[in-house]
A and B are shown apart, each in its own frame.
Chain A
Amino acid sequence: MARRTINVDVLARVEGEGALRLVIQDGKLRNAELRIFEPPRFFEAFLRGRACMEVPDITARICGICPVAYQMSAVHAMEDALGISITPEIRALRRLLYCGEWIESHVLHMYMLHAPDFLGYDGAIEMAKDHPDVVRQGLALKKTGNEILRLLGGREIHPINVRVGGFYRVPNRRELRGLRDALQRARDASLSTVKLVAGFDFPSVERDYEFVSVHHPDEYPFNEGRVVSNKGLNITPQQYDANFEEFHVKRSNALHSRRVGHGAYLTGPLARYSLNSSLLSPLAREAAREAGLGPTCNNPFRSIVIRAVEVVYAFDEALRIIDAYEEPDRAFVDTPIRAGIGCAATEAPRGMLYHRYRVDAAGTVMEAKIVPPTSQNQPSIEEDLRDFASRWLELPDDRLSHLCEQAIRNHDPCISCATHFLKLDVVRA
């Protein structure tokens, strides 16, 4: 009985620590597993007993790449619990902050982690030897995203200026307009990024995913909207727990998720684009069309093209917000404390991020639930591996292994974000 096992002990160019295992027996793929061994980080437990106003700063520490996503889902969920409505000006600034994070995170993934796959390099440093201008462009684009975070968030990693009800300080009009020239130049450069990545060679594969994302009738989704899918789901974030469940599998320190009664689903650029492409700005829609994207995309290898289109959109949206900006009278709305339960789903760069909190009458967090996009995507990533690897079994081990690693990187998994859960079983004799 011929048995072939491919182990990639440490996945490269993903955020955090994971591994891949494929078992092939008698010419058939028997098993494909994404193993996540980064230790659990217990954030949900840390949050219990803390004041609700501390939550955005604690959750920002979950990730150095997408801290804004954690802050945004946290403040919206907490505002839901406290019954607070924010002003349109604060809402716009939150979208702007999210634009900065999408730019930073997407550009990092495209240029430093994913492009080497398509151009045939082990990593970005090796790629930079032959393509220095490509890497320089990536660094310049990322820097522009950093500048948005620095101005609005107080610093580019783990921002400190976000609070329940708004911001601690809002920029004045002159400060925001100071970003404008750099953003405009970067938007032009981002169009060439779309052309660059659209020219890569993509394996010709598609999957019939259930795409899930936030959806808002008037805008490409960041902070607010219903949770929808291409297979009939259309719920409020408050209905998330009734429609999705987390479960533990032995091979992963990150909980898996499934849609109740349906199974695996996918969040992230493919889902977001396929459910919302008509809501992109005209410039981003045109860039997508020129890149050969239709209104939906089921080939995960082309996620890099969608990220590039979303970066164009993020620059466009940032400029729109800056041009329309009127400094609010107050940086935040009042936050009267009350007991309650609040939920929110927002769109992190790598997919939908759900938070739910229960606070008591003193504003103390009694329960916290955080479902990161990578947790939600794990079953779909494994289904990708099973589907695609089965088609590539004739390839030599190193090529098969690399393609499978690439299939994981398609979804830009953030393992560090995903390994935060606490599962504690107590058995009493």
Chain B
Amino acid sequence: MREKSQDPSPQASATRGGGVLSPSLRPGLILCLGNPDRGDDGVGHLVGLLLREQVPQHVVIEYQDGSALELLERLHGVDSALFVDAALTGAPPGTVHVFDCTAGDMPAAKPGASSHGLGIAEAIAMARVLHELPRVCRLYAIEGVNFTPGASISAAVRVAAEKLAAMLACAAMV
């Protein structure tokens, strides 16, 4: 995944990117991706759990493992979607990478990958080709460091998750 920011603060990423969320980016659907049993890969789920405590029930928060075809199916007819996932790029743990999926601002999809290797990049690429991409579609990927099965989420990653959840909650309340 391409690195977007070296700053662990989601707010700092937001400032450089012109605002993580403006009112027009208010999420209709928040998809939290990853495997909560694999250390920092569970950060998407953690952000979802933190958000659930902070946002009204009408904000739809769902959890998926990140399989492309299931994501693609879920995006059908959705106007606004935010993804939260873990990343592994070599950036400092807790760095928040922000991708505007509608701007083609995504890591390249892998051509010819097995279905086991089809993830969010492939789902976004396919949704774009099929004109199924939500009008608003962003990916927040928090840099992880420890993906060991059974491990807990690293301290820096947890801090970033809390900040990102707070910011997404603010946007959802606008």
Q: Which residues of A contact B (CB under 8 A)?
A: 11-17, 64-65, 108, 112-113, 116, 122-126, 128-129, 132, 135-136, 139, 142-143, 146, 156-157, 416
Determine if B70 and A416 form an interchain contact, defined as CB atoms under 8 angstroms apart.
no
Give the residue of B70, B112, B126, B131 whose beta carbon is less than 8 angstroms from that of A116: B112
Specify which chain A residues have a CB less than 8 angstroms from the CB of B67 in the assembled complex.
64, 157
- Give the segment of B7-15, B114-122, B154-162 that binds chain A: B114-122
Determine if B70 and A16 form an interchain contact, defined as CB atoms under 8 angstroms apart.
no
Specify which chain B residues have a CB less than 8 angstroms from the CB of A122 in the assembled complex.
111-112
Determine if A16 and B114 form an interchain contact, defined as CB atoms under 8 angstroms apart.
yes
Q: Check A129/B129 contact, CB under 8 A, given A64-B67, A143-B73, A146-B73.
A: yes
Q: Indicate the size class of the contact surface on chain B.
A: 20 to 34
Determine if A126 and B111 form an interchain contact, defined as CB atoms under 8 angstroms apart.
yes
Determine if B129 and A125 form an interchain contact, defined as CB atoms under 8 angstroms apart.
yes
Specify which chain A residues have a CB less than 8 angstroms from the CB of B174 in the assembled complex.
none
Q: Which residues of B contact A (CB under 8 A)?
A: 65, 67, 69-70, 72-73, 109, 111-116, 118, 122, 125-126, 129-131
Determine if A108 and B109 form an interchain contact, defined as CB atoms under 8 angstroms apart.
no
Minimum Cβ distance to chain B for residue A345 (Å): 25
Give the residue of A16, A113, A123, A416 whose beta carbon is less than 8 angstroms from that of B111: A123
Minimum Cβ distance to chain B for residue A134 (Å): 11
**Alpha-carbon gap, A165 to B144, bound state (A):** 43
Determine if B116 and A135 form an interchain contact, defined as CB atoms under 8 angstroms apart.
no
Give the nearest-CB partner of B123 in chain A. Answer: A125
Minimum Cβ distance to chain A for residue B125 (Å): 5
Minimum Cβ distance to chain A for residue B135 (Å): 19
Specify which chain B residues have a CB less than 8 angstroms from the CB of A113 in the assembled complex.
114-115
Q: Can you list 13 contacts pairing A with B, beta carbon distance less than 8 Å? A: A12-B114, A13-B115, A15-B114, A16-B114, A64-B67, A112-B115, A125-B129, A126-B111, A135-B129, A136-B130, A142-B69, A146-B73, A157-B70
**Alpha-carbon gap, A65 to B65, bound state (A):** 14
Determine if B115 and A125 form an interchain contact, defined as CB atoms under 8 angstroms apart.
no
| Top 9 A-B residue pairs of the complex, sorted by shortest distance between their CB atoms | A12-B112, A123-B112, A122-B111, A128-B129, A122-B112, A123-B111, A125-B125, A125-B126, A129-B129
Give the nearest-CB partner of B112 in chain A. Answer: A12
**Alpha-carbon gap, A203 to B122, bound state (A):** 30
Q: Check A139/B72 contact, CB under 8 A, given A64-B116, A125-B122, A157-B67.
A: yes
Specify which chain A residues have a CB less than 8 angstroms from the CB of B69 in the assembled complex.
108, 112, 139, 142
Give the nearest-CB partner of A156 in chain B. Answer: B70
Specify which chain A residues have a CB less than 8 angstroms from the CB of B65 in the assembled complex.
157
Minimum Cβ distance to chain B for residue A246 (Å): 24
